[in-house]
Amino acid sequence: MNDSLEPDGPVTEPLPVVQEGPRGRAGTASSSDVANEAEVAPELRRAVARYLDHLVVERGLAANTVSAYRRDLARYLEHLTATAAHVRVPRDITADHVRAFVRSIREGDAAHPALSARSSARVLAAVRGAHAFWVTESSVDTDVASRVSPPMPPQRLPKAIGVTEVENLLAAPDPDTPAGLRARAFLELLYATGARISEAVALDVDDLAGLHDEDLALIRVTGKGAKQRLVPVGSFAVAALDRYLVRARPELARHGRGSPAVFLNARGTRISRQTAWNMVKDAARTIHQEERITPHTLRHSFATHLLEGGADLRVVQELLGHASLATTQIYTRVSVESLREVYATSHPRAR
């Protein structure tokens, strides 16, 4: 296992989109962010930039989400410019233009690979969000994108792993090294809370204020849209966090300037998502499960094991931070599939 505490490197998360332009002031979008092709109509660039500013300032979306929307919309403008030169303002766009764009990203071209149904639906979500915003700001009268249905991705069940496999994964990091202590605490936290990797990376020490509550240990997690929730933490995760906070974090913090982050790198600053990802993959590699296990596997396993243990679906929804119960219901299918498999292999008259 790699116990190195080297400073975080760049996060490389390829997106099927056009190149970003230079950024404007921190956290906001300039028109050059949206598309750097000179022939794109200026009003289209400005309209998209207003929407991105709305996402940052009014909706408070995470930087990674806004960056993905920015790139997807840049590709949208690129497509409109290449295929519908008469489109100069949002009011010129029709539902047929949006449908043609969806077809183009599904088929791909020399500059862009074809996208899966799931990735295409994500890109279309950015486009639909922009069109809905233009209606609210009265740039257009009708939301033409709302008439365009996203491609239907194949139904894929979350990939949970068994309790024994989880226990093996959590025990993989070396508890005698600072990197191992950090990795053990991070993994225990992911499984104990079902937090997304971005949520765990974003934790500050103040978010752990309820960790030693006499009745129930709690941490504060900030999810999508800056929505906060309190999540219980089990005793194993509390112990792992305590060991990290006492034995490893002070040494890491000594190299920095007083970062409030819970999980620090060798420079004493907040770890990156890439470093967090590597911690999970290193542990998975140790138990020879590198291909099966990702940070999201622990989130899926958290939800699946709760439901198998009798937890109420709405409680699991709250713990995961899902806005819609329909999103959480996918885990009930996991349990049903598990029951079906056990029945098929165990009952003498199942076949």
Q: Say whether 296 is catalytic.
A: yes
Set 106, 224, 229, 285: catalytic member: 224
- CB atoms closer than 10 angstroms to residue 154: 7
**Tokens in use for 226?**
């800056």
Give 160-176 as a 3 state SS string.
CCCHHHHHHHHCCCCCC
3-state class (DSSP) for residue 68: helix
Q: Say whether 196 is catalytic.
A: yes
Set 196, 273, 300, 305: catalytic member: 196
CA distances from 108 to 101, 119, 128, 328 (A): 10, 12, 20, 32
Set 97, 249, 270, 322: catalytic member: 322
Q: Say whether 281 is catalytic.
A: no
CA distance 86 to 17: 23
- CB atoms closer than 10 angstroms to residue 288: 9
Q: Say whether 322 is catalytic.
A: yes
Buried b (16+ CB within 10 A) or exposed e, 245-259: beebbeebbeeeeeb
CA distance 319 to 47: 37
Set 70, 97, 128, 299: catalytic member: 299
Provide the greatest CA pair distance for the chain.
70
3-state class (DSSP) for residue 220: strand
Find all residues with CB under 8 Å of 92, minimum gap 6, and list them: 84, 86
Query: Which among 244, 266, 137, 128 has a CA at the least distance from the CA of 185?
Result: 244
Q: Hey, which residues are catalytic here?
A: 196, 224, 296, 299, 322, 331
